[in-house]
């Protein structure tokens, strides 16, 4: 399955219209220090595809610090038979560096 690399504008639009659910795969201490508003934490270190939230009408998009761990999460989800192909290419660093709002 090809990877869908989403950029900041696509993430912002999907959050604004409620069509995206950001699943942050960073570690809990990273998530607690700052996160994309509305995102949920599912750390890659103890990643279980069965725990990926399913919300009808919302596309799951993985995010991490910079886009590396989120690719691994896609691989693990696909190996478990889930059709998830999207991640935030720049991750939380891109979000924060561009001055977007950060939850703590």
pLDDT average, residue stretch 14-18: 98
What's the confidence (pLDDT) of residue 1? 76
Q: pLDDT tens digits, residue range 18-53?
A: 999 999 999 999 999 999 999 999 999 999 999 999
Question: For residues 84 and 78, is the Cβ–Cβ distance under 8 A?
Answer: yes
Label the pairing between strands 40-41 and 20-24.
parallel
Q: Which domains, from first to last, does the chain contain?
A: 4-97 (3.40.250.10)
pTM of the model: 0.96
Q: Quick one: tokens of 49?
A: 């595809």
Residue with the two structure tokens 């950029």: 7
Burial class (CB in 10 A: 0-12, 13-18, 19+), 1: exposed
- In this structure, the number of other CB atoms found within 10 A of the CB of residue 47 comes to 18
Considering the chain, what is the average pLDDT of its residues? 97
């Amino acid at each position: 399955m090809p990877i869908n690399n989403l950029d900041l504008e696509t993430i912002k639009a999907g959050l604004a219209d409620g069509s995206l659910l950001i699943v942050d795969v960073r570690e809990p201490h990273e998530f607690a220090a700052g996160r994309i508003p509305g995102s949920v934490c599912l750390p890659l270190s103890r990643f279980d595809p069965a725990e990926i939230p399913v919300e009808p009408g919302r596309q799951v998009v993985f995010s991490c610090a910079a886009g590396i761990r989120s690719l691994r999460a896609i691989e693990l989800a696909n190996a478990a038979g889930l059709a998830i192909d999207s991640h935030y290419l720049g991750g939380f660093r891109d979000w924060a560096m561009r001055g977007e709002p950060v939850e703590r």
